A and B are shown apart, each in its own frame.
Chain A
Amino acid sequence: MLPAVDFELEALRSRVAALEQLLEVHEATALAQTVRLENIVNSITDGFIVLDRSWRIIYFNKVAEQTFLQMSKKTADLLGRSVWREFPDLVGTEVFDRYHKALESQQPETFEFSYVQIGSWFEIHVYPSSDGLSLYFQDITARKKAEQERDQLLRTEKAARLELEIKSEEVRKLNAELEQRVQRRTAELENAMKELESFSYSVSHDLRAPLRTIEGFSHALLEFYASQLNEKAREYLGRIAAAANHMAQLIDSLLQLSRVSRSDLMFEQVNLSEIVIDIVKILKETSVDRRVQTKVRLNVHAAGDKKLLYIALQNLVSNAWKFTSRKDDAVIEFGLTEKANALACFVRDNGAGFDMAFASKLFRAFQRLHHEKEFQGTGIGLATAQKIIQRHGGTIWAEAAEDKGATFYFTLKDLQIKHEPALYFAS
């Protein structure tokens, strides 16, 4: 052997060994790098699949593998196989179109895809290269469901809002209709009130006018032609005049009743006792021949319309005055007492009274429990008093017995005795 050749050979051997060593190192490095790469690829949460230009699956990571398992695919068989052959249901879908488009145009594609067969949604990013396609995908089913739920909620809310608007519109319409109806009714009512007022006016003016004529000329005859009339004629003329006067009283009472029904109430603190004392004073002045003992509880106050309460008390006290006219020891009392757990005012007399069997007729207009010959009256006074008390939110009732007097009770708001100790006013 030539030493030079040997040397050469030796040198080559060692070179080969060195190269082998280097290769080993490189291989180890390459392996390490592959492992590292694979680790990286597997560590991402996206699914990752690589296809070559002939649509063969050449790589998929763990996440992708799990997705394949979900689709009941045997992952061991997949590598090297055509994706369209393994997943024929994807042919012709958006996935199919987009992959082709990306590969042809070499432009990345991003899209969402509903894989109906497994009931999942995916967001897919497609990155083309000259070698094929890299696919990243993410299961977005949960997000999609949330989105759908949100959309559903929004739709429901929108529908509800729409319904609300419709209902509001209906309510608005109803309100407008109601408003119109109220206005119409108010106008009608105002009209009716006006008619009633002009009716009252006619009653007040026109019905009284002929009465004045009847009364006046009866008197004129009695006054200026008395000597030409005999006693009977004079008596008849007296009757004519008395009837005319009675009718005038009736008209006035009716007018009063109609006025207390329609006048506005002006509420204030009213001292009822003072009113009663005033009424008693006037009655005593106008019928000096009567001897009546009166007893008035002082400082009985109530909330009400003074003018109307005066009229009510006037009717009650005048009644007591009238129905005691046949008594020598007439007593009229005004006071405050407790009735059925509530305070009530009363006007009491020891006069003619009445049979309680007729009590229900007492407050009706024109109902009289006594004959005109016994006690004169219009039969409207108590109806007026009741109307006034009722308009104040109170009630009025009576307790009586024939020939044993009557007591009229009534309630009002804020009935009370002011300035205790209360005394009596006697006259």
Chain B
Amino acid sequence: MNQPCILLVEDNPDHEELALLALKQNNIANDVVVARNGVEALDYLFGRGQHAGRDVRIVPAVVLLDLKLPKIDGLEVLQEIRSNKLTELLPVVVLTSSDEETDVVRSYELHANSYIRKPVKFQDFVSATRQLGLYWLVLNEAPPQGRTGNEQAIAHS
């Protein structure tokens, strides 16, 4: 089986490219699925819209979630993820430019696994990505796949 993918939820194409560069520089070879707004992210996770028919039991290793997104914002996406049986245990790292206390607090209230402010310095970002990759892709024990109740969860989603 392939390595699990990384779901990058990012609307800024520049930041998307920088994130891909940073991952590449850290030799992280996992597939990166990019969702450019909140709706796309949820469509991917729950097999809807352009992702209709996708096997939703294949969940990403980690979601890198920007907060300020068009259509459905990051906090709403997080709320959806946590309220669905399929994804409730999915590791979500909030990765955003904002360090407003309210954003940090809201993110943790909605059970984000961690909150990282995007550094302006590319080198800092590369080292943050390295640590992220090391933690979520190597050290972290992912929640068990194909748990019972998934079919039911799909029906409800």
Contacts and interface: CB of A to CB of B under 8 A. Distances in A.
Interface in B108-143: 118-123, 125
A220 B122 contact: yes
Contact of B18 (A205, A217, A245, A248): A217
Tell me which of A200, A219, A224 has the highest count of chain B C-beta atoms within 10 A of its own C-beta: A219
Interface string B20-37: 010001000000000000
A219 B97 contact: no
Contact of B121 (A204, A215, A220, A223): A215
Nearest to B119: A212
A213 B121 contact: no
A422 to B, nearest CB: 35
A213 B21 contact: no
A98 interface: no
A205 B68 contact: yes
Contacts of B15: 209, 212-213, 216
Contacts of B100: 200-201, 204
Interface string B90-104: 000000111110000
A212 B120 contact: yes
A220 B126 CA distance: 11
Contacts of A224: 21
B63 to A, nearest CB: 19
A224 B18 CA distance: 13
A208 interface: yes
A224 B122 CA distance: 13
A212 B21 contact: no
A211 interface: yes
A388 interface: no
Interface in A175-223: 200-201, 204-206, 208-213, 215-220, 223
Contacts of B12: 209, 213
B96 A216 contact: no
Contacts of B99: 204
A209 B97 contact: yes
Given A201-B98, A205-B68, A223-B25, A215 B14 contact: no
A244 interface: yes
Contact of B120 (A200, A205, A215): A215
Nearest to A263: B101
12 contacts: A201-B98, A208-B118, A208-B120, A209-B97, A212-B118, A212-B125, A213-B14, A216-B15, A216-B125, A217-B18, A218-B122, A220-B21
Interface of B: 12, 14-15, 18, 21, 25, 68, 96-100, 118-123, 125
